[in-house]
Amino acid sequence: MALGNLFGSGSNNSKDLNNWSSPFVNPGQLNSSLSSLSSPASLLKGFTGGGLTGSYDPTGNALVTADANRGNLVSQLSGAFQDQATKLGQLLSTVAPGFSDARSAYLADNTNRAESAISDLSSNLHARRVLGSSFAQDAINRTSATYGAERAQTLPQIYMQELEATNNLLNQQHTASVNQFQTSLNESNLQAGIAGELSKEATSAISNATAVKAQILAGLADTATAQSGANARAQAEIDAKSTAGAGSFFGTLLTPLMSAITGPVGGAITSALTGALSGSGRGSSKSNSSLSFA
């Protein structure tokens, strides 16, 4: 039912709500209250904190925005993880299996130690004047073989270390790369979560406001219907009493006058005047009585 006409358009009892002089309702305040219920977003409150601002648009949609300081902090944190991932990628070349810096250092050290040992042994054998003998050559071969055996035992261990170091660096680089994007994603998820909570509150507020408005309108409609019925009954009662009172009054007034006129003519005149002047004749479509005098 429209607020402007609670009693129905075209009815004799219709009334504009703004002009309804009910002692229990202030039309201006009522319309203002219903207007606020129609746009509950104006009653919703947002927040500001931690560089984030939550608000509502006129239709009740939740909005969450970040200020420049928070945006810069998130960008810097994401950039720090990106730098870490880049540096870890550069370290991968130093531990590449078969080409690591540790392998190169060990091989250089093993070779230097082998050459130094053989040089010392040759000097000793030369001093003993057996350098060219089979005994001397055998001693030199054994010394060289010793360092070769050491390499054969050590290089597999270095290879496993290279694999482990490479795997660790790859995992760290992966984590840093993920954190680079996860930082921004976490910020987006945080804002989305806040917006979701604000949206729930707005939905609840709008739902409650709609229910309250419906209850108010239903109550007003019931009140208007009851008031209209009461008005109609009161008017009918007033009309009935008015009609009865007018008939009685004119009957009392004319009876003494007509009593002086005797016979059928006097009775006809009395009846005609009483009917014409009483309330029963108002708006009536009865046939006109013609009085004839002989």
pLDDT tens per residue across span 201-243: 877 777 777 777 777 777 777 776 777 777 778 878 887 777 7
CB neighbour class for 183 (10 Å; exposed up to 12, middle 13-18, buried from 19): buried
Between the ranges 18-27, 113-122, 229-238, where is the mean pLDDT highest? 113-122
Q: Which pLDDT score, from 0 to 100, does residue 226 have? A: 78
Tens of pLDDT, residues 58-91: 777 888 999 999 999 999 999 999 999 999 999 9
Instruction: Report the percentage of the chain scoring pLDDT > 90.
Output: 43
Q: Which pLDDT score, from 0 to 100, does residue 61 have? A: 83
DSSP calls for 60-98: --EEEEE-HHHHHHHHHHHHHHHHHHHHHHHHGGGG-TT
pLDDT at 18 over 60: no
Tokens of 114: 């082998």
* Longest distance between any two alpha carbons in the chain, whole Å: 193
| Alpha carbons 34 and 216: distance in angstroms, whole number | 9
Q: How confident is the model at residue 291 (pLDDT cuts 50, 70, 90)?
A: very low
Helix (H) or strand (E) holding 154: helix 134-259
pLDDT at 1 over 50: no
HEC secondary structure over 201-242? HHHHHHHHHHHHHHHHHHHHHHHHHHHHHHHHHHHHHHHHHH
| Alpha carbons 124 and 147: distance in angstroms, whole number | 19
pLDDT at 122 over 90: yes
Which of 62, 63, 64, 36 minimizes the C-alpha distance to 208? Answer: 36
Question: What average pLDDT is seen over the chain?
Answer: 77
Q: Which pLDDT score, from 0 to 100, does residue 267 have? A: 57
Q: Is pLDDT larger for residue 238 or for residue 268?
A: 238
Q: Is pLDDT larger for residue 231 or for residue 117?
A: 117
Tens of pLDDT, residues 252-262: 655 565 555 55
State pTM to two decimals. 0.53
